[in-house]
Amino acid sequence: MAAKRILLIIGGGIAAYKSIELVRLLRKAGMTVRCVLTRAGEQFVTPLTLAALSENKVYTSLFDLKDEVEMGHIQLSREADLVVVAPATADLLAKMAAGIADDLATTLLLATDKPVLAAPAMNVRMWLHPATQRNVVTLRGDGVTVMEPDEGEMACGEYGPGRLPEPEAIKQAIDDALARAPAAVPLTGQPDFAPANHRPLYGRRLLVTAGPTHEPIDPVRYIANRSSGKQGFAIAAAAAEAGAEVLLVAGPVPLPTPPGVVRIDVETAVEMAAEVEAALPADAAIMVAAVADWRAADTRAKKIKKDGSGHVPPLALAENPDILAGLARSAKRPPLLIGFAAETNDVIDHAQAKLARKGCDWIVANDVSADPMGGETNRVHIVSKDGVDSWDRLPKQAVARKLMEKIADELDKCSPADSD
Ligand code: CTP
């Protein structure tokens, strides 16, 4: 198999130093790497370092006569299997979204006919700014894969999402993008990459529930569970990346809304049930929320006080609606209905029983015996009437992406999205 060719565009940001490690990982994996440095990128890493590591010429200027003669910028933009932008600064993302081509990097990005992967890195406020979020939605709509930045402490001392994903994670995203890249033969009359309408879930509407529910006892107390919402949010993000229209009904979790996702916040199971009902129809519903099974039978309007007698107030519970089972019985049942189940023992047996009891099509059974809720990975088994598909332990984002592929295949079986 021919070595995969990566055109790596390095923007200007403190995280640019991580691109050196990325080049090393790509070379180690046998890939060919050509680097392009923006003028700002040159402030953080030198062309000499990149040339030595990539064992290739490094390009910096649009108006370099010698480079143009050796390899024109159009050819440079096409002579790759994948164009990777890392770090993708707010400025680069904005120019890419607007189609501005005012230096070599942005000209290549506009001229390329190859898939593009961007790994953002910027200050948390810049990442969360509506302008950047708008640009990310635009780029994803254009078929660009925009990774989620990492969350953590930043060079500027602030905390939040905006850190460049680690080189290993970018390398994994590159492998995924190369695996997804279409065969060399272009579709008739179409460029040979995946614009919005060729992404696997384009034209589909997906409903996702995520997080816990909070069931109030009185104005200051509630019943809850340990769900972090991370897996559900990763699923909503992956669905949007795959081109779907995504509605996320979220219980109370402090997670940012994934780009391209419409989010409705709810607190209780009863509110979640109502929002799910209002969101229909959908092509698929993925019920990841850890809905509380019970709520307080009567919620007090005033805080319950100790009366000093040692008397413990009784807490009567009422059963919450089973949203998934209700959806399965509904006239508006989505063609593909997926439940989640966190189990500590007899995972498959419990999942099979739950599949029948809830009337859904798949149960994604999550083995939480080794890893409590709230972790970064999941080991899941997809249980359906056709059998059990067991996956290795994977990061939640990878579970989400793999699930989207399976969902896209399943929906295509029911009704092909388009025939071209
Ligand atoms: N679910 C739901 N409404 C509820 C409870 C659960 O929609 N009131 C959904 C969850 O979103 C999940 C699936 O049902 O997709 C399984 O949730 P789980 O809590 O495992 O199901 P339970 O019926 O509560 O089973 P268990 O007795 O194991 O808790």
Output the known binding site. 293, 303, 321-324, 340, 354, 358
Q: Which domain holds residue 85?
A: 5-191
Query: Annotated catalytic, 414?
Result: no
Which ligand 1 atom sits nearest the alpha carbon of residue 324?
7
Residues 173 and 247 in one domain: no
Which residue in the block uniquely carries the two structure tokens 């080049």?
23
End-to-end Cα distance, the chain: 28
Output the known binding site for CTP. 293, 303, 321-324, 340, 354, 358
Final residue before a domain boundary, out of 132, 164, 191: 191
Residues 19 and 162 in one domain: yes
pLDDT of residue 187: 28
Range scoring the smallest mean pLDDT among 98-112, 185-199, 281-295: 185-199
Final residue before a domain boundary, out of 191, 219, 241: 191
Range scoring the smallest mean pLDDT among 193-207, 331-345, 399-413: 193-207
Which CATH number is 86's domain given? 3.40.50.1950
For ligand 1, atom 20, the nearest C-alpha belongs to: 341
In a domain, 270, yes or no: yes
Which ligand 1 atom sits nearest the alpha carbon of residue 341?
20
Distance from residue 291's CA to the centre of ligand 1 (Å): 6
Write out residues with Cβ below 6 Å of ligand 1.
Answer: 209, 269, 287, 289, 291, 293, 320, 322-324, 339-341, 354, 358
Most informative mutation of 286, 322, 357 for ligand 1 (most atoms within 8 A of CB): 322
Q: Is the dihedral of CA 41, 46, 50, 55 positive or negative?
A: positive
Confidence band, pLDDT 50/70/90 cuts, at residue 185: very low
Which residue in the block uniquely carries the two structure tokens 């025939």?
419
Distance from residue 212's CA to the centre of ligand 1 (Å): 11
Which ligand 1 atom sits nearest the alpha carbon of residue 292?
8
Residues 344 and 217 in one domain: yes
Which residue in the block uniquely carries the two structure tokens 């062309």?
47
Number of domains in the chain: 2
Largest CA distance in the chain: 92
Mean pLDDT of the chain: 89
Final residue before a domain boundary, out of 125, 159, 191: 191
Distance from residue 371's CA to the centre of ligand 1 (Å): 19
For ligand 1, atom 18, the nearest C-alpha belongs to: 341
Distance from residue 358's CA to the centre of ligand 1 (Å): 9
pLDDT of residue 156: 72
Comparing CA positions, the residue from 58, 141, 61, 53 lying closest to residue 104 is 61
Query: Which parts of 154-310 are beta strand (E)?
Result: 159-163, 205-210, 215-218, 221-223, 245-250, 261-265, 284-287, 294-296
DSSP three-state, residue 36: strand
Which CATH number is 322's domain given? 3.40.50.10300
Rounded Cα distance between 275 and 323, Å, is: 10
pLDDT of 55-108, one tens digit each?
Answer: 999 998 866 645 555 556 777 888 899 999 999 999 999 999 999 999 999 999
Most informative mutation of 226, 271, 354 for ligand 1 (most atoms within 8 A of CB): 354
Most informative mutation of 287, 382, 383 for ligand 1 (most atoms within 8 A of CB): 287
Residues 164 and 33 in one domain: yes
Distance from residue 341's CA to the centre of ligand 1 (Å): 7
Q: Which residue has the higher pLDDT, 304 or 76?
A: 304
In a domain, 419, yes or no: no
pLDDT > 70? residue 311: yes
Confidence band, pLDDT 50/70/90 cuts, at residue 189: very low
- Helix 130-141 × helix 90-98 angle, to 10°: 50
State how far the alpha carbon of 122 is from the alpha carbons of 87, 88, 91, 147, 257, in Å: 8, 8, 10, 13, 18
Rounded Cα distance between 27 and 276, Å, is: 47
